[in-house]
Amino acid sequence: MNSNFKSEPDTPYRLAKWYARTYLKRYAGHIIAAFIFMSIQGGTLGLLSYMIKPMFDDVFSLKKTEMLHWVGLLVLSLFVIRGLAGFVQRIITAWIGERVLLALRNDLMRHVLTLDSVYFDDNPPGRLLDRILGDSVALNQAWFGLLSTGVRDGISVIALLWVAFSIDILWTFVAVAGAPLLILPVIKVHGFTRKFAKTLRETAGEISMRLDEIFHGIHAIKLNLHEELQMDRFLDKSRIYRRAAVRTVAGQASLPALVDIVAGIGFLGILMIAGRDVIDGSRTVGDFMSFFTAVVLLFDPVRRIGGLTGAWQVARVSLGRLREVLSNRPEIVNPIRPEPPPADIAASDIVFENVDFSYGDMQVLSGLSFRAVAGKTTALVGVSGAGKSTVFNLLTRIVDPDSGTILIGDRNISAMDIASLRNCFSVVSQDSWLFDESIRENILLGKPDATAAELKNAVDAALIAEFTDNLPGGLDAPAGVRGGNLSGGQRQRVAIARALLRNAPILLLDEPTSALDAQSEEIVQQALASLLDGRTILTISHRLATARDADQILVLGGGEISEEGKHEDLLMNGGLYAQLCETQVFTAN
Tell me which residue of 347, 356, 433, 421 sits closest to 391, measured CA to CA.
Answer: 356
Question: How, if at all, do strands 403-408 and 350-359 pair?
Answer: antiparallel
Classified as helix, coil or strand, 507 is strand
Contact (Cβ atoms closer than 8 angstroms) between residue 514 and residue 455 = no
> Phi and psi for 389 in degrees, rounded to 5?
-65, -30
Q: In what side-by-side order are the strands of the sheet with 403-408?
A: 362-372, 350-359, 403-408, 411-412
Which residue in 463, 458, 589, 459 sits closest to 523, CA to CA?
463
Distance separating alpha carbons of residues 512 and 473, to the nearest angstrom: 26
On average, the pLDDT of the chain sits at 80
CB 514 within 8 A of CB 430: yes
Could you say which residues of the chain have pLDDT below 70? 1-10, 59-68, 178-183, 186-187, 190, 216, 219-220, 223-224, 252, 255-256, 306-307, 309-311, 513-521, 524, 527, 530-531, 542-546, 584-589
Q: Is 520 helix (H, G, I), strand (E, B) or coil?
A: helix
Of 81, 573, 139, 75, the residue nearest 316 (C-alpha): 139
Q: 499 and 447 in contact (C-beta within 8 Å)? A: no
For residues 61, 65, 70 and 72, what is the CA-based torsion angle, rounded to 10 degrees? Answer: 70
* pLDDT score, position 356: 92
Predicted local distance difference test score (pLDDT) of residue 50: 79
**Alpha carbons 177 and 179: distance in angstroms, whole number:** 6
Q: Kindly provide the b/e burial profile for residues 149-182, where b requires at least 16 CB atoms within 10 angstroms of the residue's own CB.
A: bbbbbbbbbebbbbbbeebbeebbebbbebeeeb
Contact indicator for 508, 426 with CB cutoff of 8 Å: yes
User: How many angstroms separate the CA atoms of 175 and 262, rounded?
Assistant: 9
Say what the pLDDT of residue 216 is.
66
Give the model's pLDDT for residue 7: 45
User: What does the buried/exposed string (b/e) look like for 17-37 if buried means 16 or more CB atoms within 10 Å of the residue's CB?
Assistant: ebbeebbbeebeeebeebbeb
CB 553 within 8 A of CB 382: no
Instruction: State how far the Cα of 368 lies from the Cα of 425, in Å rounded to an integer.
Output: 21
Rounded to whole angstroms, the Cα distance separating 290 from 548 reads 97
Give residue-wise pLDDT tens across range 313-352: 777 777 888 888 888 888 888 888 888 888 888 888 999 9
Whole-number pLDDT of residue 518: 66
**Furthest CA-CA distance within the chain:** 121
Q: How far apart are the first and last CA of the chain?
A: 52
Q: What is the pLDDT of residue 585?
A: 53
- Where are the alpha helices (H) located in 342-404, listed in sequence order? 388-395
On the 0-12 / 13-18 / 19+ scale of CB atoms within 10 A, 472 is: exposed
